[in-house]
Amino acid sequence: MDSIKILVVDDESRMRKLISDFLGREGYIIVEAADGEEALEVFFREKGISLVILDVMMPKLDGWEVLKEIRQYSETPVIMLTAKGDERDELMGFNLGVDEYISKPFSPKILVARVEALLRRFIQKEDEELELDGIIINRTAHEVKVNGEKVDLSVKEFELLSYFVLNKGIALSREKILNSVWNYDYYGDARTIDTHVKKLRNKLGEKGNCIKTIWGYGYKFEP
């Protein structure tokens, strides 16, 4: 943990201290910023920031503007903190590229757990090969094998399966899947996802049952 640096951005000093204390106990290196402008200055000045914890309501630049600027140059994972619990705000965050969304007040222990889980997923994304429950995804060769047998997938089916495996056990909304796999500027709808999931399930055979439907919400990959 001593090499993992986290940027904590919040205009409330008490909140920054609370988050920094809990993450510091886990061995993370913490850098702080008190407003949106300082956040961008620190993010681009500091080397090796692995994750950003970002408040929404801040002076000078709010969290949305900071996130937009970061996403122009970096895929560094971002956890957004907000006092709002409105679904529209969550969707806005996902549309802009936020990775996790936590509403205040929150349990610091839960925040630490979310940080650890998100960092694990992000580090996994850089691996050449993913293996889970008999499914092997070679991201360099763009090849998938199920129980040793090669499965031919389209580009989007391959990306969708990779996304599911990287986020195993996590309930994923259709909006987040659309934004993550089809990119943020894609003007499609949820039916695109449903169609690709159906084809992917068929091609995976019995392993297709790992893709669980969450009615009215999205999907979850459960090996």
Q: Which of 106, 125, 144 is the last residue of a domain?
A: 125
- Domain of residue 103 covers 5-125
**Final residue in a domain of this structure, among 125, 151, 182:** 125
Domain ends where: 76, 106, 125?
125
Contact 155, 148 (CB under 8 A): no
Say how far apart CA 168 and CA 182 lie, in whole Å: 19
Q: How confident is the model at residue 125 (pLDDT cuts 50, 70, 90)?
A: low
Mean pLDDT over 101-126 rounds to: 80
Same domain for 119 and 19:
yes
Same domain, 20 and 112: yes
* 114 close to 186: Cβ distance less than 8 angstroms: no
- pTM score of the predicted model: 0.57
Q: Note whether 26 and 109 are same-domain residues.
A: yes
pLDDT grade for 151, boundaries at 50, 70 and 90: very high
Beta pairing class for 149-151 and 135-138: unpaired
- Number of compact structural domains in the chain: 2
86 and 162, same domain (yes or no): no
- Interatomic CA distance for residues 75 and 98, integer angstroms: 10
User: Are residue 168 and residue 198 in the same domain, yes or no?
Assistant: yes
User: Which CATH number does the domain housing residue 23 bear?
Assistant: 3.40.50.2300
- State pLDDT tens for residues 59-92: 889 999 999 999 888 888 999 987 766 666 667 7
pLDDT value, residue 187: 52
Question: How is residue 82 written in tokens?
Answer: 């907000």
Q: Residue 150: what pLDDT?
A: 93
33/54 Cα distance (integer angstroms): 9
185: pLDDT strictly greater than 50: no
CATH, residue 197: 1.10.10.10
Regarding whether 121 and 165 lie in a shared domain, the answer is no
Whether the predicted pLDDT of 209 surpasses 60: yes
Cα–Cα distance, 49 to 154 (Å, whole number): 34
- Per-residue pLDDT reduced to its tens digit, 98-112: 888 888 888 888 888
